[in-house]
Amino acid sequence: MENKVIKDRLSALREKMTANGIDYYLMPTSDYHNSEYSADFFKAREYFCGFTGSNGTLVVAKDWAGMWTDGRYFIQAEREMKGTGVTLYKMGEEGVPTISEYLLSNMESGQVLGFDGKVVPAAEGMSYEKKLKKKQVKIKYDKDLAMEVWTDRPKLPCNPIYVLSDELCGKSFEEKLADVRKFMDENEAGSYLLCKLDDICWLTNIRGNDVECNPVVLSYLFITKKSVKMFVQFDELTDESRKYFEEKGIELFEYSKIISWLDEYEYEGLTLYDERNVSYSVYRTISDNAKSRGANVKNILDPTEMMKACKNDTELSNIREVYRRDSAALTKFIYWVKKAVKTESLNEYTAAMHLDDMRRALPGFIELSFPTISAYKDNAAMMHYEATEESNAALTPEGFLLVDSGGTYMGGTTDVTRTIVLGPISDEEKKHYTLTAVGMLSLANGWFLEGCSGRNVDILARAPLWNIGIDYKCGTGHGIGYMLNVHEGPHSIRWKSRSVEDDAPLKKGMIVSDEPGVYIEGKYGIRIENILEVVEKVKNSDGQFLGFDQLTYVPLDLDAIDKQYLQAKDIKAINDYHAEVYKRIEPLIEEPEIKEWLKEATRAI
Amino acid sequence: MENKVIKDRLSALREKMTANGIDYYLMPTSDYHNSEYSADFFKAREYFCGFTGSNGTLVVAKDWAGMWTDGRYFIQAEREMKGTGVTLYKMGEEGVPTISEYLLSNMESGQVLGFDGKVVPAAEGMSYEKKLKKKQVKIKYDKDLAMEVWTDRPKLPCNPIYVLSDELCGKSFEEKLADVRKFMDENEAGSYLLCKLDDICWLTNIRGNDVECNPVVLSYLFITKKSVKMFVQFDELTDESRKYFEEKGIELFEYSKIISWLDEYEYEGLTLYDERNVSYSVYRTISDNAKSRGANVKNILDPTEMMKACKNDTELSNIREVYRRDSAALTKFIYWVKKAVKTESLNEYTAAMHLDDMRRALPGFIELSFPTISAYKDNAAMMHYEATEESNAALTPEGFLLVDSGGTYMGGTTDVTRTIVLGPISDEEKKHYTLTAVGMLSLANGWFLEGCSGRNVDILARAPLWNIGIDYKCGTGHGIGYMLNVHEGPHSIRWKSRSVEDDAPLKKGMIVSDEPGVYIEGKYGIRIENILEVVEKVKNSDGQFLGFDQLTYVPLDLDAIDKQYLQAKDIKAINDYHAEVYKRIEPLIEEPEIKEWLKEATRAI
């Protein structure tokens, strides 16, 4: 069956391409800042091919269109693009060309590749530029053709900016700015362009609501030795924030003017930027302009990333309290769902809604830190499963329910996963749950020397599973923001580095998740995720030892623990953890029957 | 007290410097191939300052001389250079300049830095070149001034070359050469200069005796698509080796002619070299000459390193048997020393000699793979301690004796460390021994996914010690050659990479040591070292799991095991290992009383 809607959209796009002298037009999945999540405004790729996944690039030519996505989405993309005439290119499969390879062998010399350079990350754009040079392909990056076809395009998100007090942030904007300027001095730089949204919010102590689940503000920051220029949508300014920016000496410019401003700015000396977070348009503008004035640009790792990652004492103390309350809410949810499943008609979605409501009732709740994952039985084996009101599985008193969820509150952003026993489970499920719990606690209780990165310690969480020939196909842990994004760098815990930043050392005050799991296709999925704070342990002539403190205090499910897979030290680790859970969470629970259940759920084994 | 001998030598050197227009003269610790050990011929630095350690660089100017060395040698260097007038620069200490920094702030514009470019690694020479450019310092690298002053300089080592059969090597020269030429093709190279001695021996299936404990031949190999040119000292050739080289079509050139030959060669296309193993002289010669002919050079990682590291089936089967016999010898030594210490007058040195003699009596013995380390009590806390006939500690029936030793045999090179209980030891010693054994076995028994490097798995060996705040200041493991060097790359097991090569993945057929330890200054040192072979374990949809097989079968000392520090899995690991030790070693032991002792020493606990 033909998908006429999409075909018509592609025809209209092709007309615009012809009118603009563009032979191939490329649409990636990104906003202006290479954010993890994109607002609806940025979903041009989805508009023109129907594919809704979180990763994909559409390329359109006169008589052909292709969409590249990764293994998570092959089935979904095939289904969603049926009848559109768009060819699916399965990234990573043998014999499937990359986009560059495809363009290189199909574009003719002198043809034009077009894209909106504002949504293509600098490194990606440069790579096309470099690879297609051989074929004298020209690149046209100043046209957002989607804008001309997509008449009912959603508006750019535009939500009020709010200001956090220095007391809540633990460090004022001025102090943070001084650190950034110190970095600029060390790099002998005259200016620094910061494009990463959570870094801008962290640095300026503001928050907003422009990216789903990320309380950030669409903005750019241009810092010189004497001035700070901020580009925001003026409609987002409140009286409070306008006054704050004025007090702090932050000069405001309209968000949409960034490119033209950068194009006219009189660069002197060296301008720093981070190519991971800068769009191709921004990169070309600053680099061409600077060079034309005899100035220079330099690619660096945003220094704000590491500064933001090492939480200060105020942040840490707020985070600990936020996690305690969030843990208590999840604990109550576990009590509820284990009981309700026996008597009520529940499904994955309604259970998630119940939990979300519990979080919303907590003091200081801002928003969910990501859409709650509630996955029953075999659904949990799909790492990116999302139940909806329309499509979900009914819960019955058997098997595992995996719930991965979190909230952003005044004082912290949480993330936690528990796999909950709803009724009878198999011996194999118990074995895998037990070894997952052992891995999670082994990492949490491990000591390591300062200088270690996540690569060094990842195996502590993975070993109990690797030793029986099971792996989970994702990292063990990610950094988490302070009232900010639930995923933040530079550190992570994974055995294979994707990039040099993955190898950032673990430092005191960092927050990191610890989430091993077992995913058996068609059967079940197990993940246990606690959030850890990096803390100092012993310091002696051998060096500074680091370790972790737990932030998450939610019972493991003893119904799924099989002692035959536990060493003495594992039993002690579980009992010690549960003793702490009871001690910290019990005071937050009023209902006597839940108190009683918690005592049983955290009993020593 | 003045050291007149050294002072006179320095005066003579300074005269030569003046005569050659050299203002600063630098002498590192290296041979022509950046080998780990240097022959006496190369000990110019020692000749001119008295310092005998294995790492140090002497720089001499008209009125000043300085010697740079690392933390292992501060005390020794100070003692040995007393009265010489040479200043010690403690590398890594705060406020101590590096050599480049020193030269940059002390050399005057236009002055000349001299060194023998044949003993300065390319990367080091290039770094001086680059850093001193700012000061218009000239570099003169074609003069070996030591040669002119050091009249009784030892000769360059010159020992007969012998040829290994294809049956012993498992792969012929032609097959290995084809692999190297494939690599050259992939790199679109016309020629490849190989300077690493063990790689040359591996590739050509020859051995020699030109570097202490390393059965290698001083040589260079220049490979083109059609020819193989080998530079050796003609005096090393035997009838057998001359015939072999002729048969294999390897053209021979006199070793000393390498530079002049490289200078005259008509380069075409691209020449590959590995800057880690090429001297500055060689690098400058090939790069200047190639450029002058419109050809090019490219720095690569010697492909032979990885090829050599992944042992073939023939090598592996020989290695396993060699380790079994070597293990039996060490086991007998342990029996002997534990008994003899009660009745005989022994010292560290005589004990080492006894062990060396036992190895010499084994079939196919060629030489020790390194000088045996025999360190008693607190001496063992010094990682580089070496007992001599003149200076050693007497052994008494108490405390630990650490013995780290190995041999090169026809069929393999061994390395093994045992820490032996000679009599009463403290509870702390038992605790540290037990946790060291746990770490060694945890790594040996760990599974990991293909793609992991030593960085990923290092913590398996270290965790039991890190968790009580103890570290050992060295890597956990190194690669080992086949009838070659006891240290070889590219892989290693260490938590901190020194370079990108340290991160080489562990691959099937690699041999690697597993040697955690505890070193308590002034008290004792513990190290337990087994050698492991990387083997394939389960392969499934999660990937190819790898693990290790033990090559070393020598009892751990149960007298030092304290069960309170063992988990159930650790007890099983010790018992399983000991059962294998007994099964494999007992048949190699004839003496009934040793058999009986072995049974007891490997009893289940």
Locate A228 and state its tokens.
Answer: 């700070």
pLDDT for res A92: 84
Instruction: Tell whether the model's pLDDT for residue B386 goes beyond 90.
Output: no
**3-class secondary structure, B24:** strand
Q: CA nearest B203: which of B180, B187, B233?
A: B180
Mean residue pLDDT across chain B: 96
Partners of A471 on chain B (C-beta within 8 Å) are 449, 542-543
Nearest to B24, CA basis, from B123, B139, B148, B150? B139
Q: Which residue among B466, B473, B538 sits closest to A545, beta carbon to beta carbon? A: B466
- Residue A100: phi and psi, rounded to 5, are -60, -45
Give the domain-ending residue among A284, A302, A320: A302
Mean pLDDT value across residues A255-271: 95
Q: What is the DSSP letter of B62?
A: S
The pLDDT of A122-150, averaged and rounded, is 93
Neighbour-count burial for B58-75, b at 16+ CB within 10 Å, e otherwise: bbbbeeebbbbbeeebbe
Distance (Å, rounded) from C-alpha B379 to C-alpha B392? 9
Q: Which amino acid is at A588?
A: L
Determine contact, residues A464/A439, Cβ cutoff 8 Å: yes
Q: Is A452 exposed, middle or buried (0-12, 13-18, 19+ CB in 10 A)?
A: buried
Reported in sequence order, the residue ranges of B452-529 that DSSP labels E, i.e. its strands, are 477-479, 488-493, 511-514, 517-520, 524-527
Assess whether B597 and B449 both reside in one domain.
yes
Mutate to test the interface with A, among B542, B548, B571, B572 (most CBs of A within 10 A): B542
| Among the partner residues B448, B458, B496, nearest to A466 by beta-carbon distance | B448
Give domain status of residue A529, yes or no: yes
Q: Average pLDDT, stretch A500-521?
A: 92
pLDDT at B377: 97
> Domain range holding A373?
310-575
Å between B180 CA and nearest CA of chain A: 27
Q: Can you give the pLDDT at residue A93?
A: 85
CB pair distance less than 8 Å for B463 and A467: no
Q: What is the pLDDT of residues A78-94, one digit of tens each?
A: 999 999 999 999 998 88
Using alpha carbons, select from B278, B238, B258, B249 the residue that is nearest to residue B173.
B249
Q: Which of B435, B447, B518, B538 to mutate to test the interface with A (most CBs of A within 10 A)?
A: B447
Average pLDDT of chain A is: 96
Chain A CB contacts of B466 under 8 Å are 446-449, 545
Q: Within this chain, do residues A368 and A271 fall inside the same structural domain, yes or no? A: no
Whether residues B460 and A463 touch (CB distance < 8 A) is answered with yes
Query: Hey, what are B338's tokens?
Result: 């534990």
Q: Which of B451, B469, B495 sits opposite A540 (nearest CB)?
A: B469
Q: Where are the beta strands (DSSP E) in B95-210?
A: 112-115, 138-140, 162-163, 191-194, 206-207
pLDDT(B500) > 80: no
State residue B473's pLDDT score.
87
- Candidates B604, B431, B458; CA nearest to B526 is B431
Is the Cβ pair B495, A466 closer than 8 Å? no
Q: What is the pLDDT of residues B314-356, one digit of tens each?
A: 999 999 999 999 999 999 999 999 999 999 999 999 999 999 9
- Find the radius of gyration of the CA atoms of chain B: 25
Across A504-533, average pLDDT: 97
Q: Could you read off the pLDDT of B76-127 as tens digits, one per residue?
A: 899 999 999 999 999 988 899 999 999 999 999 999 999 999 999 999 999 9
Q: Please give the Cα distance from A271 to A292 (Å, whole number).
A: 13
Q: How many domains does chain A have?
A: 3
Q: How far is A378 from chain B (nearest CA, A)?
A: 17
Query: B475 in a domain, yes or no?
Result: yes
Indicate whether A50 pLDDT > 80. Answer: yes
> Is the domain of A211 the same as that of A335?
no
A296's enclosing H/E stretch is: strand A296-299
- For residue B157, being part of any structural domain is answered with no
Q: Which pLDDT score, from 0 to 100, does residue B574 have?
A: 98
Element (H, E) at B186: helix B173-186
φ, ψ for residue B415 (rounded to 5)?
A: -160, 130
Domain boundary among A105, A126, A149: A149
> Nearest-CA residue of chain A relative to B474?
A542
Residue-wise pLDDT tens digits, B284-294: 999 999 999 99
pLDDT band at B498 (very low <50, low <70, confident <90, very high): confident
Whether residue A456 and residue B459 make contact (CB cut-off 8 A), yes or no, is: yes
Q: What is the pLDDT of residue B382?
A: 85
Distance from CA of B234 to the nearest CA of A (A): 48
Is the pLDDT assigned to residue A244 strictly greater than 90? yes
Residues A417 and A494 in one domain: yes
pLDDT value at B501 more than 80: no
Q: Do A456 and B495 touch (CB under 8 A)?
A: yes
Q: What is the pLDDT of residue A268?
A: 86
B298 and B315 within one domain:
no
For B238-260, the pLDDT digits (tens) are 999 999 999 999 999 999 999 99
- Report how far apart, in Å, the C-alpha atoms of B517 and of each of B430, B457, B569 are: 13, 16, 20
Contacts of A478 by beta carbon, 8 Å cutoff, 6+ apart: A487, A488, A492, A493, A512, A513
> CA–CA separation, A218 vs A216, rounded Å?
7
Q: In this model, does residue A73 exceed pLDDT 90? A: no
Distance from C-alpha of A412 to C-alpha of B529, rounded to nearest angstrom: 47
Q: Are residues A260 and A315 in the same domain?
A: no
Return the pLDDT at B37. 85
pLDDT (0 to 100) of residue B134:
86
Backbone angles phi, psi at A253, to 5 degrees: -130, 150
Same domain, yes or no, for A533 and A469? Answer: yes
- Residue B454 near residue B477, CB atoms below 8 Å: yes
CATH number of the domain where residue A100 is located = 3.40.350.10
Minimal Cα distance from B542: which residue of A? A471
A467, A473, A538, A569: best to mutate for the B interface, most B CBs within 10 A:
A467
Q: Among partner residues B446, B467, B469, which is closest to A446 by beta-carbon distance?
A: B467
- Does residue B92 lie in a domain region? yes
- Expressed in angstroms, the distance from the first to the final Cα of chain A is 59
Candidate ranges A144-148, B127-131, B558-562; pick with highest mean pLDDT: B558-562
Predicted local distance difference test score (pLDDT) of residue A503: 84
DSSP code at position B86: P
Is the pLDDT at B74 greater than 90? The verdict is no
CA proximity to A197, closest of A188, A208, A186, A187: A208
Please give the residue of chain B at the shortest CA–CA distance from A572. B567
Residues 6+ apart with CB under 8 A from B251: B227, B228, B229, B230
User: A476 contacts in B (CB within 8 Å)?
Assistant: none
- A352 and A292, same structural domain? no
CATH number at residue A548: 3.90.230.10
- Interface predicted TM-score (ipTM) over 0.90: yes
Asked if residue A383 and residue A505 are part of one domain, the reply reads yes
Are B66 and B106 within one domain?
A: yes
Hey, how many other C-beta atoms are within 10 angstroms of the C-beta on B188? 10
Q: Encode pLDDT of B151-187 as tens digits.
A: 999 999 999 999 999 999 999 999 999 999 999 999 9
Is B345 in contact with B553 (CB distance < 8 Å)? Answer: no
Q: What percent of chain A has pLDDT over 90?
A: 92
CB contact under 8 A, A451 and B568: no
The pLDDT, as a whole number, for residue A326 is 98
Task: Find the residue in A nearest to B519 (Cα).
Answer: A542
Q: Which of A446, A459, A545 sits opposite B457 (nearest CB)?
A: A459
pLDDT at A440: 98
Using the 8-state DSSP alphabet, how is residue A588 labeled? G
Are the Cβ atoms of B459 and A457 closer than 8 angstroms? yes
Residues of A in contact with B447 (CB under 8 A): 466-467, 469
Q: What are the chain B neighbours of A568 within 8 Å (beta carbons)?
A: 567-568
Q: Is the pLDDT of residue A501 over 80?
A: no
pLDDT higher than threshold 90 for residue A345: yes
* In the predicted structure, residue A382 carries a pLDDT above the cut 90: no
For residue B154, tell me if it sits in a domain. Answer: no
CB-CB neighbors (< 8 A) of A459 in chain B: 446, 448, 452, 456-457, 459-460
pLDDT at B1: 80
Higher model confidence: residue A382 or residue B149? B149
Nearest to B545 among A469, A542, A545 (CB): A469
pLDDT of residue B71: 81
- In-domain check, residue B395: yes
Q: In what order do the strands lie in the sheet with A250-254?
A: A250-254, A228-232, A219-224, A191-194, A270-273, A296-299
pLDDT of residue B347: 98
* Shared-domain flag, residues B295 and B173: yes
Residue B20 has pLDDT above 90, yes or no: yes
C-beta separation of A303 from A180 below 8 A: yes
Do the Cβ atoms of B40 and B46 come closer than 8 Å? no
**DSSP summary character for residue B522:** T
CB contact under 8 A, A471 and B452: no
Q: What is the pTM of this model?
A: 0.93
- Where does the pLDDT of residue A498 fall: very low under 50, low under 70, confident under 90, or very high at 90 and above? confident
Write the residue in A459, A473, A545 that is nearest to B459 by C-beta.
A459
| Pairwise CA distance, residues B160 & B552, whole Å | 31
Spell out which chain B residues touch chain A, with contact meaning CB-CB distance below 8 angstroms: 445-449, 451-452, 455-460, 463, 466-467, 469-471, 473, 495-496, 537-538, 540, 542-543, 545, 567-569
- Binary contact (A446, B460; C-beta < 8 A): no
Within 8 A of A520 by CB-CB distance, chain B residues are none
- Let me know if residue B386 belongs to a domain: yes
B169 with B141, same domain: the answer is: no
**Mean pLDDT for the stretch of residues A186-202:** 97
In this predicted structure, the answer to whether residue A384 has a pLDDT above a threshold of 80 is no
Domain boundary (B303, B329, B354) is at: B303
Instruction: Provide the total of helices (H) and of strands (E) in chain B, helices listed first.
Output: 19, 30
Angle between helix axes A568-585 and A427-445 (nearest 10 degrees) is 80
**Considering the domain boundaries, does residue B454 fall inside one?**
yes
Q: pLDDT tens digit string along A578-591?
A: 999 999 999 999 99
Q: What is the DSSP letter of B331?
A: H
Can you read off the two tokens belonging to residue B583?
């099964």
Count CB pairs under 8 A between chains A and B: 77
* Average pLDDT value for residue range B287-306: 94
